Amino acid sequence: MNTNKVDGLIRKVEKKKALVGVIGMGYVGLPLVLRFCEEGFQILGFDVDSKKVAKLKRGKSYLKSIPSSRISQFVRSGRLNITDDFSHLSQPDCILICVPTPLTEKMEPDLQYIQKTTEAIRDHLRKGQLIVLESTSYPGTTEELILPQLESTGLKIGRDFFLAYSPEREDPGNKRFGTHQIPKVVSGVTLSCQKSAISLYRQIIQKVVPVSSPRVAELTKLLENIYRSVNIALVNELKMLADRMGIDIWEVIEAASTKPFGFSPFYPGPGMGGHCIPIDPFYLSWKAREYDFTTKFIQLAGEINVSIPYYVVSKILDALNERKKSIKGAKILILGVAYKKDVDDARESPALAIMDLLQKKGAIVLYHDPYIPSLPPFRKYLFKLKSSPLTERLLHRMDAAVVVTDHSQIDYGWVVKHAPLVIDTRNVTKDLKRWERKIVKA
Ligand SMILES: NC(=O)c1ccc[n+]([C@@H]2O[C@H](COP(=O)([O-])OP(=O)(O)OC[C@H]3O[C@@H](n4cnc5c(N)ncnc54)[C@H](O)[C@@H]3O)[C@@H](O)[C@H]2O)c1
């Protein structure tokens, strides 16, 4: 191990004199930037989206979960600088990569963002820099994709520069666990890479969990998300069976949850959404093919979760039919389009699939979401819709309201009172027995 470079870097980090660069000012990068600022670090944020950069430079947040005041104080004090000029990449001592890792149309890893970022870092790499990938990806990304590019500069890993992987576990909207309270798994390509990355994260996170290699850390993140995906699929499948059997799955889960060991509750819903759980497992199934291995659980969970919006739509159809109404021309209000409660993110949200299916069947679809005033273009869908104000008049005009996202600020008792029919995918109507005739669980 070259003690000079790594010890120099660690000293600088521990004295909080290291300049930290963060690439990608999104749901992951922005909270990370603020955490470093709070601990007294000087930060240089990078993003390709110049509009986002301009807004952040004015101290304005573009995410509901982050108030502008948290950003503006650091911008004003000069601790936080943000740029879209990647020629500054030689300045930071530590660079954290938080760029998107979506799927292509063919459901394969879309690594263009990591690739472009790696090329930009490579073009400005200097001795003594620590590079950490935080984006979720398959085991091997750090060492097979990033390392060769950085070594092509002639600089030597573990001696001249350091490379690590530390997966992000950010949970937007989670009020119980802030960034600093969520333990951070940290690995490095060499021992000095790991040592320097650990020293950096110790400055901002209460508990750092070292692991032996980037591949272990990469698979750890995927295991966490696959675990959720598979368990959500399981309860979603059981929900459909329980419905056929005339059993309330929510009551079953509540009862099973009283077991003090060996059971963790997962809850059914309208399908799976968000930037992580529906996407990340496919990074592993794709990589598994290289090893002649089929990841059956991932495949099956994917199939079940993708089928749930169809199930929800079939329940809407049945409920309308019961009321002698057809879906064609029916006015349907979708309540909540965000992929989960109290967030302003609708990426991969099952609401989009449900709305699309309803429209294709001839329904007139409106939506209300206090967090999403209008729907931007999505990977698979384009709706030209704005959130309708939630009023008694609107609810009276509808043939059905469908609770897709259980945002806390909506009064569901009031909704059920005024809507002719409520399709509930989140069990928000659990205590509204009085209105049972109007409620269909889906
Ligand atoms: N959102 C979450 O809750 C969450 C949680 C854990 C892990 N992750 C993972 O973290 C990574 C980032 O996710 P996110 O939700 O923050 O994404 P995001 O889309 O919110 O943010 C990514 C940012 O990167 C920018 N960007 C794109 N290409 C760039 C480039 N070449 N150089 C610089 N900036 C670029 C985009 O403009 C955007 O601002 C993904 O791998 C994701 O799977 C996300």
Q: Ligand 1: distance of its center to the CA of 203 in Å?
A: 22
Q: Which of 28, 47, 276, 341 to mutate to test the pocket of ligand 1 (most atoms within 8 A of CB)?
A: 28
Encode the chain (442 residues) as per-residue pLDDT tens digits. Answer: 456 789 999 999 999 999 999 999 999 999 999 999 999 999 999 999 999 999 999 999 998 889 999 999 999 999 999 999 999 999 999 999 999 999 998 889 999 999 999 999 999 999 999 999 999 999 999 999 999 999 999 999 999 999 999 999 988 878 889 889 999 999 999 999 999 999 999 999 999 999 999 999 999 999 999 999 999 999 999 999 999 999 999 999 999 999 999 999 999 999 988 888 889 999 999 999 999 999 999 999 999 999 999 999 999 999 999 999 999 999 999 999 999 999 999 988 999 999 999 999 999 999 999 999 999 998 889 999 999 999 999 999 999 999 999 999 999 999 999 999 999 999 999 999 899 999 999 9
Which runs of consecutive H residues, i.e. helices, occur in 337-390?
Answer: 350-360
The catalytic residues are: 276
For atom 20 of ligand 1, which residue has the closest CA? 26
> Distance between the two ends of the chain, CA-based, in angstroms?
59
Q: Ligand 1: distance of its center to the CA of 23 in Å?
A: 9
Q: Ligand 1: distance of its center to the CA of 272 in Å?
A: 19
pLDDT at residue 171 in the model: 85
Residue type at 253? I
Q: Ligand 1: distance of its center to the CA of 168 in Å?
A: 10
Q: What is the DSSP string of 293-325?
A: ---HHHHHHHHHHHHHHHHHHHHHHHHHHHTT-
For atom 15 of ligand 1, which residue has the closest CA? 27
pLDDT at residue 133 in the model: 98
pLDDT at residue 223 in the model: 98
For atom 28 of ligand 1, which residue has the closest CA? 113
pLDDT at residue 3 in the model: 62
Q: Which atom of ligand 1 is nearest to the CA of 46?
A: 33
Which runs of consecutive H residues, i.e. helices, occur in 61-152?
Answer: 68-77, 112-124, 147-151
Q: Which atom of ligand 1 is nearest to the CA of 280?
A: 43
Q: Ligand 1: distance of its center to the CA of 47 in Å?
A: 10
Residue 29 gets the label, from left (phi > 0), alpha (psi -120 to 50) or beta, of: alpha
For atom 36 of ligand 1, which residue has the closest CA? 24
**pTM of the predicted model as reported, rounded to 2 decimal places:** 0.93
Could you list the beta-strand ranges (E) of 89-247: 94-97, 130-133, 162-165, 184-188, 208-210
Note whether 352 and 362 are within 8 A (CB).
Answer: no
pLDDT at residue 170 in the model: 85
Q: Ligand 1: distance of its center to the CA of 357 in Å?
A: 29
Q: Which atom of ligand 1 is nearest to the CA of 172?
A: 3
Residue 369 gets the label, from left (phi > 0), alpha (psi -120 to 50) or beta, of: beta
Ligand 1 pocket residues where CB is under 6 Å = 23-29, 46-49, 52, 98-101, 113, 116-117, 135-136, 168-170, 172, 275-276
pLDDT at residue 75 in the model: 97
For atom 1 of ligand 1, which residue has the closest CA? 27
Burial class (CB in 10 A: 0-12, 13-18, 19+), 426: buried
